[in-house]
């Protein structure tokens, strides 16, 4: 039997992808060598950070998402390569900003990483665009966009975010204590309860678990939802959900200190109980995901459809 035209085209597309992948691998290795110092500093920083310890997982997750769509990628190698100039130019702009900051002696080390790492990522995206074309970049857009989470927040922005979550959690826990009928006097972050005074410390902001919850919502929306509006709802819901979870944790600790033992402030539930409350927030996020999936099905006139899970299923679904 002679091979069909379709099978020949498919084989040629796979061969072209492999050739371009080898060239892109050499480009990526060169990029890693050139920027080895900031990449190593990022790895060291994430290993010692209480907030950004998730950073090394991001490229692994992004790579897996691309790998899961490997069978459809050869057919996506099309489109213009001229657009690669945009991320290359943006990466150069970040480098100029970094050199300006470095020569002026501004900012902390994390602030400089916040400029260098975006430059590396933009050069990486530019390489993807140059070697594979705009079609494949669009097909792997979510995986590439996810790499933004590798960028550590500048010090001032991380402090502002932690402070905002700290006060928001205090507001939620105070409201819960009032609804529970507990006698409480609040002044800022300080709570005066019968027999004990509490302060919502910066460590109680829950910034790390809130960021992880947000990342989880992004991945869940990408894998199990196809409507962009519902994906946005799920991602944005992670923010108030994280605040409510953290406020509930403070509320529980306060009740235990008042009604059980003031020493509960030093108990393992307070010091290392974060994962327990995080699992609770994951449960509510899963519940919202189920609701949104049902809403997606109802949008097609009650007809049950299989929500695409793999990249190939998503492509087939979008082409219908």
Q: Are residues 183 and 238 in the same domain?
A: yes
- Rounded Cα distance, 56 and 43, in Å: 7
CA distance 23 to 31: 12
179 with 288, same domain: the answer is: yes
Residue 5 pLDDT class (50, 70, 90 cuts): low
Final residue belonging to a domain, choices 108, 135, 151: 151
Q: Which is nearest to 173 in space by CA: 189, 194, 195, 197?
A: 189
pLDDT level of residue 312 (50, 70, 90 thresholds): low
Domain match, 126 and 212 both = no
- Which tens digits make up the pLDDT trace of 200-246? 887 777 888 899 999 999 999 999 998 899 999 999 999 999 999 98
pLDDT of 57 > 50? The answer is: yes
DSSP-derived pairing of the beta strands 196-199 and 185-187: unpaired
Q: What is the mean pLDDT of the chain?
A: 84
Specify the DSSP class assigned to residue 248. Answer: H
Q: Kindly report the length of the chain.
A: 320
Per DSSP, helices labelled H in 141-227 are: 141-146, 155-179, 207-224
pLDDT band at 73 (very low <50, low <70, confident <90, very high): confident
Q: Residue 241, CB half-sphere, CA atoms under 13 Å: how many?
A: 26
Q: Do the beta carbons of residue 112 and residue 98 sit within 8 Å?
A: yes
55 and 164 share one domain: no
Which of 126, 151, 176 is the C-terminal boundary of a domain? Answer: 151
Same domain flag for 253 and 277: yes
State the CB neighbour count (10 A cutoff) for residue 68: 15
Last residue of a domain, one of 120, 135, 151: 151
Q: Are residue 137 and residue 37 in the same domain, yes or no?
A: yes
Judgement on whether residues 111 and 31 belong to the same structural domain of the protein = yes
What domain range is 44 assigned to? 5-151
How many domains would you assign to the chain? 2
% residues pLDDT > 70 (the chain):
86
Token couple for 131: 């070697």
The CA distance from 138 to 140, in Å, is 5
Most distant CA pair in the chain, distance: 87
Only one residue has tokens 């085209």, namely: 9
Q: What is the pTM of this model?
A: 0.81
Q: 140 and 31: one domain? A: yes
What would the pLDDT profile of 238-268 be if each residue is shown by its tens digit? 999 999 998 998 898 888 888 888 877 777 7
pLDDT of residue 319 exceeding 50: no
Q: Are residues 221 and 130 part of one domain?
A: no
Residues 6+ apart with CB under 8 A from 46: 52, 53, 54, 55, 56, 152
Confidence category of residue 82, pLDDT binned at 50, 70, 90: confident
Same domain, 113 and 172: no
Q: Which letter, b or e, does each residue of 201-235 get, where b requires 16 or more Cβ atoms within 10 Å of its Cβ?
A: eeebbbbbbbbbbbbbbbebbbbbbbeeebbebbb
Q: Which of 75, 84, 90 is nearest to 14 (CA)?
A: 75
On whether the CB atoms of residues 274 and 207 are closer than 8 A, the answer is no
Residues 137, 202, single domain; the answer is: no
Provide the pLDDT for residue 17. 72
Same domain for 128 and 207, yes or no, is: no
């Amino acid at each position: 039997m002679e091979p069909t035209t379709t099978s020949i085209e498919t084989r040629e597309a796979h061969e072209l992808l492999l050739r371009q992948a080898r060239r892109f691998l050499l480009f990526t290795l060169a990029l890693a060598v050139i920027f080895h110092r900031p990449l190593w500093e990022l790895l060291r920083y994430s290993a010692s950070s209480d907030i950004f310890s998730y950073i090394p997982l991001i490229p692994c997750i992004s790579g897996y998402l691309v790998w899961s769509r490997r069978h459809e990628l050869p057919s996506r190698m099309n489109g213009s390569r001229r657009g690669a100039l945009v991320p290359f130019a943006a990466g150069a702009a970040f480098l100029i900003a970094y050199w300006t900051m470095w020569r002026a002696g501004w900012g902390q080390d994390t602030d400089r990483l916040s400029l260098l790492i975006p430059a590396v990522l933009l050069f990486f995206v530019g390489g993807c665009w140059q070697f594979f074309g705009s079609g494949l970049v669009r097909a792997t857009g979510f995986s590439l966009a996810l790499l933004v989470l590798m960028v550590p927040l500048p010090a001032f922005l991380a402090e502002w975010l932690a402070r905002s979550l700290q006060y928001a959690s205090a507001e939620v826990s105070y409201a819960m204590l009032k609804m529970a009928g507990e006698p409480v006097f609040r002044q800022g972050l300080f709570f005066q309860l019968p027999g004990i005074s509490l302060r919502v410390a910066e460590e109680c902001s829950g910034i790390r678990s809130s960021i992880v919850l947000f990342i989880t919502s992004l991945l869940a929306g990408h894998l199990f939802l196809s409507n962009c509006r519902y994906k946005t709802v799920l991602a944005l819901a992670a923010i108030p959900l994280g605040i409510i979870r953290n406020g509930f944790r403070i509320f529980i600790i306060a009740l235990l200190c008042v009604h059980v033992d003031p020493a509960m402030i030093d108990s393992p539930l307070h010091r290392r109980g974060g994962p327990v409350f995080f699992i609770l927030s994951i449960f509510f996020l899963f519940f919202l995901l189920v609701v949104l999936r049902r809403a997606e099905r109802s949008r097609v006139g009650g007809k049950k459809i299989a929500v695409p899970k793999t990249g190939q299923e998503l492509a087939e679904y979008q082409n219908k």
